[in-house]
Amino acid sequence: MWQHLSAWRAAASFRPVMNHVLTLIANRAATTLDAATIARVREATNGSEPDILSPGEAADILVAKPPDLDVVRAALEKKPIDAIAAKARGRRKGLLIADMDSTIITSETLDEMAGYAGLKDKIAAITARAMNNELNFEDALRERLAMLKGLSLDVLEKTWARTELTGGARELVATMRAHNALTALVSGGFTFFTERVAALLGFDTHRANILLDDGVALLGAVREPILGREAKVTALQELATQRGVKLGATLAVGDGANDLGMLAEAGLGIAFHAKPVVAASARARVDHADLRALLFAQGYRLSDIRPT
């Protein structure tokens, strides 16, 4: 008997500790996370039996060490499925800090405003370069706003009327708030829009740039200092202190170069449908799924998500 017990203990000592988790999330509008796909990923990573978070949409696989995500993506065979790796402990975060434009909403509000001045293509080209870290964010914002000097203030309401939320945005904010997380919208855009998005979705707080006007038209500038990359990092640090959590217990999401600092600083920084330079440098990214992916990455199940 003792020999059998010793053999069992010896075998157990070689079992790897599964202290990391790989979460697979499908773009539910385009594909299904099926058993065969999960099996390929398990084989590629020596992972555990899957824990299904949402049937056909999301699953966790425990792994012994951080997986090679290039290997995982190869196993996914170009299906529109995202893979996010994290430590198995401390997954649920106490603070969400989110970018607005092209993250929580689908558009770039400044580009949409420019459309009413006949300058959308010109300004959008500058926006794209700034978001891909090819231009200084603050200088690029000043340049674009100067082109819109004199634009009637009613353009702001017209732009807001056409603004759409990104899929999963409501669920992300509502679910994290329901689980006692502080939620903040921190944008390099403008308070005119963050105030409305925050109220619509229930964000606890918001920060952005303040447009200057004369009561009739835009003055082509914002109140200085501009809320840029470093200000987003400062917001993350201040809000973590306010919430009483360490940075490891924070989640940041964004798509542009001005988000790189907070994505690197947060416990879980996710590049969401991001510009190439951001996607390439982020520790985690969502290229296919909607914002519900951020919940599954924290281990939330379909039954946890609000509203459903």
* The Cα angle at residue 283 between residues 266 and 52, in degrees rounded to 5: 95
CB atoms within 10 A of CB 296: 26
In angstroms, the CA 64 to CA 104 distance is 33
CA end-to-end distance (rounded Å), the chain:
54
**Beta-carbon contacts of residue 115 (< 8 Å; ≥ 6 apart):** none
The answer to whether the beta carbons of residues 270 and 282 sit under 8 Å apart is yes
The answer to whether the beta carbons of residues 188 and 208 sit under 8 Å apart is yes
Active site residue ranges: 99, 101
Q: Where are the alpha helices (DSSP H) in the chain?
A: 2-13, 35-45, 69-75, 109-115, 120-131, 137-147, 154-161, 169-178, 191-201, 229-243, 260-265, 276-281, 293-296
